[in-house]
Amino acid sequence: MSIFVDDDVLRKVATVIGGEEAVQVAMALKKFKEATDDQILSYIAEDAETEIKLNDVRKILFKLHNHSIVQCDGVRDETTGWFIFRWSLQLDQVEGFIKNQKKRIIKILQERLDYERSHDFYYCNTPECERLPFEDAMEYVFKCPTCEKLLQYFENKKVIDTLENKIAQLEKELSE
């Protein structure tokens, strides 16, 4: 199965999983199709600005493996009898990873939206302070616990609209 995943998407996913070093490992794998950790290391080491070590490469490979972005095949070396591990990208899983991330974000946004819809908020209008739900505002007798200014009703329609739009956009992306 061949699935088209462009470099930008692969970079983003690798960054989320293991930062800049994971990007380098993923791009090396993309170039080689299949490679050992040593091959990946020497490819990355050609770039003089990196000081990545074999152990780092291995750690990243395991992280990517945990998310099924790479797979690993162990092959016995005929001469030495040792196992050689060859790593390769599973590009079809990259798409699955992105979908799962989006689903996770939708869940968080939905919980946030439910919270916004089911509460009335009070706010002192000081940028550094936080809005308080009615129950908490009442406990502080409508005086901000941080800056002591009066807490006023806060219209959260804009917050709700923003959350709804973001959720709708992500759901549209998932259905594409």
Binding mask 125-144 for Zn ion (x = CB under 5 A): -x--x--------------x
Report the residue from 147, 150, 168, 174 that binds Zn ion according to the rule CB under 5 A. Answer: 147
Among candidate residues 160, 162, 83, the one with its CA nearest the CA of residue 121: 160
Nearest to 27 by CA among 35, 65, 75, 166: 35
Which residues between 86 and 115 bind Zn ion (CB under 5 A)? none
Among 55, 66, 146, 165, binds Zn ion (CB under 5 A): 146
Strand 34-35 with 70-76, pairing = unpaired
Side chain identity at residue 83, one-letter code: F
Q: What's the CA gap between 98 and 68, in Å, rounded?
A: 12
Residue closer to Zn ion by CB (options 17, 137) is 137
Nearer to Zn ion, 155 or 161 (CB): 155
The residues binding Zn ion (CB under 5 A) are 124, 126, 129, 144, 146-147
